[in-house]
Amino acid sequence: MLRVFGRLLSDEDALAAIRDKIRQELPSLANLFKADAYLLKKIVASAGTLIAEVEADAEHPMRHEFDRFVKGFIDDLRTSPDYAARAEQLKRDLLARPELRGLAGDFLSSLRSFVEQDLASDQSAVRRHLADMFVQVGKQLADEPEIRADMNQGFVMALASFVENQKSGVSTFIADQVRRWDILQLTRLVEINIGRDLQYIRFNGMLIGGLAGLALHVGERIIFHN
C-alpha cells in the first residue's frame, strides 16, 4: 500500500485531480495567487516524507495503527451481524449487475478460446507448464517418503469410506448386471477368468465321462447277455 501511495503522488492525472479539488475549496482570491499549486506542492512533499518514514521504519506508529485497524476490521467481519448483512447485500448487488455477468461470460469465453488455441499449437504453453508441474510433483514424491505415506493413507481412507457408503449400491448394480447376462456371455467370462484351468476341467470331464460310459456298457453286456 505504501508503494501504491508513492506511485499515486507521482501520477500526473491524480495530482491534477487533487489540485482541482483544492481550487474548488479555496476562495477565488486565493486562486489568483496560485495558492492551489502551492498547497498541492506542500501536500505532496509532506505525504512523500511521511511515506518514506513509514516505509523505512518497521516500528512506525502508523504501521501499528494500520495493523490495529485491519485486525479490528477482520473481527467485525467475523462477529458483527451488521457487517455480515452489509457484505451479503454487497454480494447480491454485485451479482445482480448485468455488467458483472457479461464480464464473467466474456472472461470464460476468452479463457476457453485461449486454452483451445494454445493446446492446438505445437509450442503449447499450457502443456509445457503442466508437464513441468507433474515432473516437479513426481520428483518431490520420489524424494519425500513422508508425503507418499500420507497420500497412500489418504487414498486408503477415501476409498474405504467410498466403498462403505456405496457397497449396497455396488452390490445391487453387480447383481443387476449378472442377471442380464445370457449363457454365452457367462461362459465367455468364465473362460476368460479361469483360463487354462477350464481346459483341464473339460479334459478330465471328458475322460471320466468316457470311462463311466465304457463301464456302464461293459456292465450291460455282462448282465443282459450272460
CA 179 to chain centroid: 40
pLDDT at 87 over 60: yes
Q: What angle do CA 210, 216, 218 make, to 5 degrees?
A: 100
Could you give the dihedral angle defined by the CA atoms of residues 210, 215, 216 and 218, in that order, rounded to the nearest 10 degrees? 120
* Sequence-separated (6 or more) residues with CB below 8 Å from residue 51: 2, 5, 6, 9
Q: How far apart are CA 151 and CA 149, in angstroms?
A: 5
Position 147 confidence tier, pLDDT thresholds 50, 70, 90: confident
CB 9 within 8 A of CB 15: yes
Would you state the pLDDT for residue 71?
A: 92
Distances (CA, A) of 80 to 74, 77, 93: 10, 6, 20
Mean pLDDT of 83-93: 87
Higher pLDDT, 130 or 196: 130
pLDDT > 70 fraction of the chain, expressed in percent and rounded: 92
pLDDT at 106 over 80: yes
- The helix (run of H) or strand (run of E) holding residue 15 is helix 12-25
For residue 127, pLDDT beyond 80: yes
d(CA 211, CA 218): 11
Pick the closest to residue 192 from 184, 215, 51 (CA basis). Answer: 184
Amino acid at 71: K
End-to-end CA distance of the chain: 118
pLDDT tens, residue by residue, 45-62: 888 888 888 888 888 898
Mean pLDDT of 19-35: 71
Quick one: pLDDT band at residue 33, thresholds 50, 70, 90? low
Single-letter amino acid code for the residue at 21: K
pLDDT at 29: 59
User: Does the pLDDT at position 226 exceed 60?
Assistant: no
pLDDT in tens, 173-200: 777 777 777 777 777 776 676 666 666 7
Quick one: pLDDT band at residue 225, thresholds 50, 70, 90?
A: low
- Most confident listed range (4-13, 88-97, 181-190): 88-97
Rounded-to-integer distance, Cα 112 and Cα 119, Å: 11
Higher-confidence residue: 171 or 80? 80
- State the Cα–Cα distance between residues 65 and 71, nearest whole angstrom: 10
